[in-house]
Structure formats: C-alpha cells, structure tokens
Amino acid sequence: MRLTTKLLTSCLAFVLLAGTLAGCNRGPTDQVLAQNVNAKLKADPALASRVINVTAASGAVTLTGSVNSEAEKTTAGQLAQGVDGVKSVINNLTVRPPVVNATPPPVSPDTKLKADVEASLAKYGITGVTVGVVSGEVTLTGDIARAKLQDAMKAANEAHPKKVLNKMNIK
C-alpha cells in the first residue's frame, strides 16, 4: 500500500507539473505576434502596398499608418484579430484616400506663345535673347548682333503675337 501511495503521489505531482508547464505557454512573444499580423496584412492584395505599422504588447496589437478607405481599415483590423495569440486590436489606422492626379491646368496662351517664339529663335540660330510674354505681347531682351536683329524680329512675329517689343542691345 505504501508503494501505491508513493506511485499515486508521484503521478499527481507529474500531472500538476504538466498542468503548470501548459499554463506557462501563453502563445507567441509580442515580437512574433507582430510579425505574424504583419505577414497576414501583407498577404492581403488590397493592403499589401499600404504602410501599416504593427506593434504588440501582452497580446494587444496596435495598428498605425494609413489606408485608402474605411473598408481597408476594417479589413486590416479583422485580419489582425484573426491571428492566433491576438487578444485585442487597437486600430489607429488613418483613412487617406489616394491622391488622384488632377488634369494639369491648361497651358496659358502666353506660355504657348513664349514657347513658339523661343522655338522660332532657335530655328534661326539666335541665342542670348530672352523672351517675355504678357497678355499676348512679346518682349525681346538681351544682346544680339546687328546681322541677326531682323531674323529675331521675324522669328518673334512668326508666332503671331499682339505686339513685339524690341528691348535688345545691339552689339
């Protein structure tokens, strides 16, 4: 009987020890938990390119960063909650809709006129002349050789401005 009591006591001690060890297994560390949540988020095609930071503390996961919609924010929270070991999720994601490239502003007539005059001057091989345009009127400034003056004026007029003002210095 003494042997049975010793055996029974040993078995009971073993069961208690096993139970205690099983209770110590609380799941993944915070670092592993954060990595697992991050991997789950990156595996989702809608969230893969989003900047989402994941931190974990005692099983509580915090999501920070930005997403493009409320739906993405909700999905990220649900995916994080579904990872083994996550006890709670604090979803601090900011919703920032994607920037849509607006149509560029139309080119002003003055900008186009300036580009046309500069192209004409280049065609005639004229350098050192600066083109200014205000309200369709072209002003030419800079230094120019006397032999090139007529070509410069012709180049400016080919763009059909309202007026050409010659403020060039003849060398």
Q: How large is the average pLDDT for residues 65-82?
A: 94
Token digits of residue 114:
């300036």
Q: Give me the pLDDT at residue 4, please.
A: 55
Q: Going from the N-terminus, what domains does the chain have, and what CATH number goes with each?
A: 27-101 (3.30.1340.30), 109-170 (3.30.1340.30)
pTM of this structure: 0.46
Q: Give me the pLDDT at residue 21, please.
A: 45
Distances (CA, A) of 75 to 30, 98, 163, 167: 21, 17, 63, 66
**Cβ atoms < 10 Å from Cβ of 75:** 16
How confident is the model over 75-124, as pLDDT tens digits? 999 999 999 999 999 999 999 877 777 677 777 889 999 999 999 999 99
How confident is the model over 31-64, as pLDDT tens digits? 999 999 999 999 999 998 998 999 999 999 999 9
Cβ neighbours of residue 88 closer than 8 Å, sequence gap 6 or more: 59, 60, 61
Of the two residues 20 and 134, the one the predictor is more confident about is 134
Q: How large is the average pLDDT for residues 145-159?
A: 93
Pairing of β 88-95 and β 60-67: parallel
Query: In the structure, what pLDDT confidence band is assigned to residue 17 with cuts at 50, 70 and 90?
Result: very low
Distances (CA, A) of 100 to 70, 94, 97, 105, 106: 18, 18, 9, 14, 17
